Structure 1
Amino acid sequence: MRALLMRGLFICAIFVTVWILMVMYWRSTNRMPTSSEVVLYLLVLPVSFLFGLWLIRKMTVAVTASAAAGVAAAAVPQPDDVNPPAHDDKQERTWTLAILAGALRSPHGASPDELATALKSKEARLELDTELTDSNGFPVRTGRISDIDGDAVAEVIAAWLNSANMQIPAWTAEQLRALAMGSDVLVDLVSQALTHPYLIDYVNAGTTKRSSIELPVLQLLPVFPDSWPSDMRKTVASWFMHLIEQHGWPAEKILISPMMTSNRTEPLSLIDRLSVHSHRQSLPCFCLMIASESFIGEKSINQWDAAGQLLKGKGNTGQIPGEGAAGLLLADQNQATLMDVEFPAAIHRIAQGRREKSADANGQVSAELLSELAQDALLIADTTSDKITMLIADSDHRGSRMTELMGLSQRVFPELDFNDQCMKIAADCGAAGAVSSLTALALAHQEAAVNATFTLCTSNQDAFDRTAVVIGPFIKATFDTQATASHIH
């Protein structure tokens, strides 16, 4: 609002200034201007002047953005720019990344520790929503987060977009809620990234000396909802980059991760691709991954209801709408060692597969594939089922997903108590797309790092795709040593 007011005052000042100057000129020459001169000098002239200023600013912004993109692109070499060493399949299966920090917003807590405590206490309940009803007028059970102010974030982003001469998207209420949560989680993770030991020296160094300081490029990997159009994704990605810079990370050291263009939007798959890309190309990895989603709004409820997706009554075939945000700060061995955080964890390579039959189809759901993937994930991490102390899944409460998860537990982890040692994120927090998977990883990091134990994360929300991965304590020996030359100079 303030930006719009200032812009209006500036335009008025230009017009008034031109008018005063022209009137003074006409009075000094003792002549009466013609109608065409009045239109030309009192209307066309100030409009042309304003248009010229706008055009100059647009060109300046474009040149600056192009230069920043060029610097960032040069900082992270692409596959064609390097000559990566060869790796065999066996060696590639041992590659890992470090999870340095996790952050989240959920209906039962604003941090991994708060959410884990709530889930373990069995006091996490999803209540009937006081604002939303189904087509029959009955209240809907949701995973609403009570303290989200979408209007406030809309005003802040609108002011920023106006100052950058960027178009303001037509946000829905759900998108603004997701944006508010995502911004909060991003700031939490940026505060962790700002503890990098090279940052202060880089910021204080002169422009000519910065190239000798090995501060890594901070990659931003946002996981957007499938329903968001491409122009909105670009706007939100730019907003996130602005927040990162605003909080102290140098603009020329921020880059949208190449993984953002991937067709896969499942967080476990994206992290695996990020790990492979970094290791194969011998590139440093310092990445902030974030997802945010909200289905808490009339538009989403109506869509779910019309599609038969909404939980009604006591059945277990529908889903409970949820919302939230979650993110991770990921790093390679060198960056993890430099950061020296108190509780890092290692995320191993994933095991993934695809069901032949949809889990939403009629009939019994087999846990065979998910069990095989879990066993493969154990082999990849070079550990055994008895070392796993917690099973964390993005599963919701639908009978098909619970049957599959229980089958996995009985087949592979019979020693685990399914009620006390298995967290089901979407079942307890509501369905929130990719947020449920990233929340599971944030909780797995909490368990593995703080308690020095191994945790298995699984994803079975999709009708076909299945994924499993082991999160364990950070052990330097589990990483390939990367040469110092691979750091960004």
Structure 2
Amino acid sequence: MIIRRMLAALLLFAAVWFAVVLYWQASDANPSAGDLAVWLLGLPLALLGGFWLLRWGIRRRREAQAASPMVAAGDDESSPVDNGPQPDRIIHLLAGAVWLRAGAGGEAVAEALAKPERPSLHPQLKDALGLPVFAAAVEDLDPAAVEAPLRAADPDAFERVFGEESLRAIALLDPVAEELLLTALLPAPVEVVADPHGATLHPHAMHHSRSVRAAAPAAAPPVLQIRLLLPRAWGPTARQASGDWLRAKAAAIGYAQHQFEIEVMPVASGNDSWRLFDQLAQAHARDGGDDRQLLLAAHSAIGEASIERLDARRELLVSGHPEGLIPGEGAAGLLFGHAVTPHDPDAPPLRLHRLLSGQAGQGRGASRQAAELLQHAMTTAAQPAEAIVAVFSDADHRPSRAIEIAGAIAATLPELDPVDDARHLGLVCGDLGAVAPLALLAAAAAQAAQADAPVLVFGLADPQARIALALSPAAVDVDDQPPNPAEAATAVVATA
């Protein structure tokens, strides 16, 4: 990369010098020392600088357009864009799991964010100058723990596509996926039959009973829809092998092949996760039913390859670049669907209200626009400002993000302290890519459940888009919800 750039610069200098000297000879000019400095040094440097500046601007524009598809005009129901307050659209969060630098589990992460400890310099990772860089690595992580199952899922692909960072990401995902798969696993249907007089019989007694004529077949349990979000940079082979690993894990836990479906989706940023979550919420609100959705995401930039890439793009936090990123890693998952939890029907789930999105403000107007979006989220969810107990965001070490969310909290939630009542995920865990939205929701849900009060979630990591939504606990009226799938899977019908 560096050699190619140097060669391009030398070719530009040579072309400029040739053209200038040729012009001087044709015009019989006698250039002075100043002319030599301006035309032979200043002109090629100006052209080179303009070229790289134009290239950088085009790349940033393309990245912003690719990462911010949610920002557009209009409020069509088919579009994930919401301008201002909208009719609420509630889905129920049944369970969440996370493993980040801040801790394992939503409760641990929420507690860690209340007393944030910023990432320190990594002992091994260095930038191009050989200086240590800040990194939010998860301690005590053993990537070797997932080598054997990944190799068993696809031996050929493992050697070719799994490196240090992808192994770390899958190792973080392993306990998160296991916890949520166990939570979502429905008990096997038990066939219960009845005699003509109303007495129920166990299947073992059915053979000895003459009063039982027949039993209805057990209803098929709903299919668990699993979507695995993995970095687009991994490539299709690594993502496919990871999907095979997850499929084998689900089978080992006890899932039959027809009980779940897995779709591996490439993602580039947290905005991809927000967009997918909103699309699933729209589909769930439109179609209803007892389907359950499991979102899983894993990300790790703790490796030499990511550090080199971020440093080459001038996106790494280094001396003289305070707006750079701190690479992080983690895994998170959300299980949501109907309002009756399969593992604990007595514990009401949390309500995830409609996701609202808007464009990022500039300068002094950033806090004002963020405040408006927070207010719209509270209005949509019918939650008064005095009921909100905390605000969770993905703000990090960058002063611009901290000032924006603090100003928005002060303007819309006067009873909250903009510092003490704010929980900033990026400040502790660095850049988490597509994991951040899921981790934010899991941590915010744990806080809302513990306080039995609503909380707000605000996404501002994207340079162009802003996201806001509310979470609130609520008692569930089972009569108004789809039936418990565990009960629906049990046959209790017999004919005399």
TM-score, with length taken from structure 2 = 0.70
Aligned AA (1:473): P
Structure 1 residue 211: deviation in Å?
A: 6.3
Give yes or no for the alignment of 1:106 onto 2:121.
Answer: no
Larger-gyration structure (1/2): 2
Aligned AA (1:240): L
- Shift of the 337–249 alpha-carbon distance from structure 1 to 2, 3 Å rule, reads closer
Structure 1 residue 106: deviation in Å?
A: 1.1
| Count of paired positions | 386
Matches within 5 A, 1:137-152: 137-152=130-145
Matches within 5 A, 1:322-401: 322-333=328-339, 335-336=340-341, 339-340=344-345, 342=347, 344-355=349-360, 364=364, 366-401=366-401
String of CA shifts for 1:75-126, please: whole Å, max 9, x gaps: xxxxxxxxxxxxxx9xx9333122122111111211222222222234x231
Counterpart for residue 457 of structure 1: 457
CA distance in 2, matches of 1:224, 1:93: 32
CA distance in 1, matches of 2:276, 2:188: 27
CA distance in 2, matches of 1:294, 1:365: 33
**8 Å CA contact 1:96, 1:479 repeated in 2:** no
* Deviating more after overlay: 404-413 vs 461-470: 404-413
Counterpart for residue 288 of structure 2: 282
CA distance in 1, matches of 2:172, 2:463: 27
CA distance in 1, matches of 2:244, 2:165: 19
- Shift of the 212–396 alpha-carbon distance from structure 1 to 2, 3 Å rule, reads same
Structure 1 residue 415: deviation in Å?
A: 1.8
Counterpart for residue 10 of structure 2: none
Alignment counterpart, residue 114 of structure 2, candidates 120, 137, 143: 120
Structure 1 residue 478: deviation in Å?
A: 11
**8 Å CA contact 1:311, 1:319 repeated in 2:** yes
| Uncovered stretches (5+) of structure 1, i.e. residues with no partner | 1-88
CA distance in 1, matches of 2:265, 2:313: 31
| Uncovered stretches (5+) of structure 2, i.e. residues with no partner | 1-81, 192-201, 204-214, 491-496
**8 Å CA contact 1:388, 1:453 repeated in 2:** yes
**8 Å CA contact 1:365, 1:400 repeated in 2:** no
**8 Å CA contact 2:189, 2:489 repeated in 1:** no
Structure 1 residue 227: deviation in Å?
A: 2.0
Matches within 5 A, 1:145-224: 145-162=138-155, 169-194=160-185, 196=186, 198-199=187-188, 201=190, 212-224=218-230
**8 Å CA contact 1:343, 1:449 repeated in 2:** no
CA distance in 1, matches of 2:380, 2:433: 27
**8 Å CA contact 1:98, 1:336 repeated in 2:** no
Alignment counterpart, residue 133 of structure 1, candidates 126, 131, 140: 126
* Deviating more after overlay: 295-304 vs 378-387: 378-387
CA distance in 2, matches of 1:261, 1:210: 45
Structure 1 residue 462: deviation in Å?
A: 0.7
Structure 1 residue 484: deviation in Å?
A: 8.9
Alignment counterpart, residue 260 of structure 2, candidates 227, 249, 254: 254
String of CA shifts for 1:431-483, please: whole Å, max 9, x gaps: 11121221111111101112211010111111112111101103325996448
* Deviating more after overlay: 472-481 vs 412-421: 472-481
- Secondary structure at 2:455 match in 1: strand
Structure 1 residue 264: deviation in Å?
A: 8.9
Alignment counterpart, residue 96 of structure 1, candidates 90, 93, 98: 90
Percentage of matched positions with identical amino acids: 29
Give yes or no for the alignment of 1:318 onto 2:318.
Answer: no
String of CA shifts for 1:160-185, please: whole Å, max 9, x gaps: 224xx877651221111111111221
* Deviating more after overlay: 313-322 vs 449-458: 313-322
Counterpart for residue 49 of structure 1: none
- Secondary structure at 1:328 match in 2: strand
Greater relative contact order structure (CA < 8 Å, 6+ sep) = 2
**8 Å CA contact 1:259, 1:270 repeated in 2:** no
CA distance in 2, matches of 1:215, 1:157: 29
**8 Å CA contact 2:394, 2:459 repeated in 1:** yes
Counterpart for residue 424 of structure 1: 424
Structure 1 residue 422: deviation in Å?
A: 0.5
- Secondary structure at 1:201 match in 2: coil
Structure 1 residue 146: deviation in Å?
A: 2.0
Aligned AA (1:457): V
- Shift of the 407–192 alpha-carbon distance from structure 1 to 2, 3 Å rule, reads same
- Shift of the 226–384 alpha-carbon distance from structure 1 to 2, 3 Å rule, reads farther
Matches within 5 A, 1:214-253: 214-253=220-259
String of CA shifts for 1:362-394, please: whole Å, max 9, x gaps: x55612332222122112211111111000011
Counterpart for residue 442 of structure 2: 442
Counterpart for residue 74 of structure 1: none
* Deviating more after overlay: 289-298 vs 149-158: 149-158
- Shift of the 272–168 alpha-carbon distance from structure 1 to 2, 3 Å rule, reads same
**8 Å CA contact 2:410, 2:417 repeated in 1:** no
- Shift of the 484–296 alpha-carbon distance from structure 1 to 2, 3 Å rule, reads closer
- Shift of the 478–139 alpha-carbon distance from structure 1 to 2, 3 Å rule, reads farther
- Shift of the 104–264 alpha-carbon distance from structure 1 to 2, 3 Å rule, reads closer
